[in-house]
A and B are shown apart, each in its own frame.
Chain A
Amino acid sequence: MMRFLLLFSRQGKLRLQKWFTPISEREKKKIIRDMTSMVLARQPRSCNFLHWKDLKIIYKRYASLYFCLAVDNQENELLALEVIHRYVELLDKYFGNVCELDIIFNFEKAYFILDEFLIGGEIQETSKQVVNRCIESSDMLQETMEEYMSKPAF
């Protein structure tokens, strides 16, 4: 089971945080600090896996963003790398050639996509098309509802 997913830039600014277990605010802040310092201190071509307390940390760098995923000790690390890659692909498909700015300015969309892909620390849907279709339908629903609500009632 995955414990949390963090996205942060090379300067250590947090771009996305998703927690799959209940943790207090102070703990969250501490974990974010630890993660950023640990991952940013790594050499460029070193192993993608770290050990932290009793969790495994898998991180991958895409352009200027670090994707950091924490999993239980029994999980398959290589598969976690694939999970990260799959999420990046989903973002790419949705935003079209995604870059960090897209995630900064549309962070709620990034969250929605993540919620379609992972729930409660587990993978929800393995097919890219299905996930994309769901997101598109949700967006469509939102727009039509907006239009519907904003139209004056007859």
Chain B
Amino acid sequence: IANSYNRPTLIQLQNTREEEEEQQTTAQQEEQTKRWEATELEEEHVHDAAVPPLAGDPPAADPPSPPPSKDDFQEELVIRPLHSGDIYASFQFRTVWDADFMGDQKVSHYRLFPKSLGQVITKFSVRELHISFTQGYWRTMQWGQPYLPSPPGAELWVWFQDTVTDVDGTWKELTNVLSGIFCASLNFIDSTNTVQPSASFKPLGIGNVTDHSFLRYATLPREIVCTENLTPWKKLLPCGSKAGLSVLLKSEKLFHSTFHSQAVHVRPVCQDPQCRTTSMELRQTLNVVFDLHTSGQGKREWSLFKMFSRTLTEACPLASSSKVYVDVTDNPQGEQFELSPATPLLTQAVVLGDRRTYSVYDLTQQASFGSSRSLNMLLRWKMLRPLLHSERYVAGYGLQAGEIHTLIYNHHPYRAFPVLLLSAVPWYLRLYIHTLTVSSKGKDNRPSYIHYQPSKDRERPHLLEMLLQLPPNSVTEVTVEFERALLKWTEYTPDPNHGFYVGSSVISALVPSVVAMDTNSTLDRPLFSSFFPCKEEASYFMRVYTEPLLVNLPTPDFSMPYNVICLTCTVVAVGYGSLYNLLTRTFQVDEPSPGLAKRIANVIRRFRGVPLL
């Protein structure tokens, strides 16, 4: 954990050099900020961070390249909407450490590169280190390919330098140190779960060592990821979690996702196209997939605030480039979704074998943040907007009264049209027609034709028909209060607590059509377009049915007759029966029956004719 309480134990720091370097750091920071302001933005170029890097491949033509010297930090976020409605966000933070320790020099100056990792790398002579913590499983069939794949649990693979003599011992120590840094149980990695792959894990950085005895690979599938792993990961960033893209990394939202993976990749890279000197590159990546139903609440509309509950306010001041990319390949003219705020920058990149187009937001430009000083990207999918639509529900509480609300939506932008609303309500919901209100856009809307037939108990239901004029782009609400009736006990269904149904209301309308209709004969038209007869050219006939209602009526307790009969019979039997017995029963003394010997003696005496015992 890179905080001031850990005294350096791995490498002896000399006090004076530290003071010098602190002064150098402040001077360099000022130099760095000046350079950042002067950076120009390219409109169309192949971004090298999106290209999967091959070993030893120098970055593609990148005019004008900055002077390759000091530490460098870049941050980037890619947002890719997935076909299933979920959204995939991938963060990458790249710190390049300008230190060449392929040679033998001891490194003790840390500027942007985190000291805890740097000390680990130098002490254990690590050439490449890749560690990832993942929660969830990547669903390739639903989501496509990830930019940076990782297995569930923890995965660690390391290439050591060829100067290491005891690789197994160094591996064991390295896993223990990493378990302390990342607060994970990596110390469970030992010889029983470590392998030396011979072909699958070639070095991703430069170097041509092929002796796989310096490679170790281990996974811990049971390892969980939680805030205690995210916090030290965030502390490795130069800006921490205070500025730039890392302000979005809040654990409550990140772990409420279908897939979460954070990784650290360290490898040596070339500093210049001729590869005369090398430097260490640290890439911290975080991939997260937010689910449409869990995080998106079912609505297909995503924004930075909805995903992370934060917006971006500034780029990290130590970053030389800070960009957000949104994948708009499937949305060239904006038919599928709308991206706001609009950005003029567009970039193409070849990634995962496909050429994709991205809208770019450059956070180093103040203009990206607009007047509100915050950037919240919004991707809104075009929703289906049928012209006529309706809903109905019961409002109120208790078992005595209630209200029926019917909402009719007119989504046409400028045309108003009339509709006929038919409601047939059973007699046991007694409607109070004097409470009927019709309102559109908050104002009263009187129907031009009403036909109402009141109900008669146990004979006929209510019938209400109205002709309403729907204003354009509005919601019309029809409200009527009712009271529930108490039915006779034989009229209840065997399952009365289920409720009683009210049939759908019917809305019949002539809806303005987009295309002129053909009023001629329907003989040679397909069946699905010729059901309703077409009388006019400019509109077509349509019926919309609302939901049925399920209403609870006051229900008696049907077990009461049985209870009453039982109780009454018990009272009668016990009370009257005892009294009757008491009054009419007589009592006699009864002789006890004699023993066996006496009975035999009595039998003999009977024979003899002598009086019995």
A in complex with B: no
Enumerate chain A interface residues (CB-CB to B < 8 A).
none
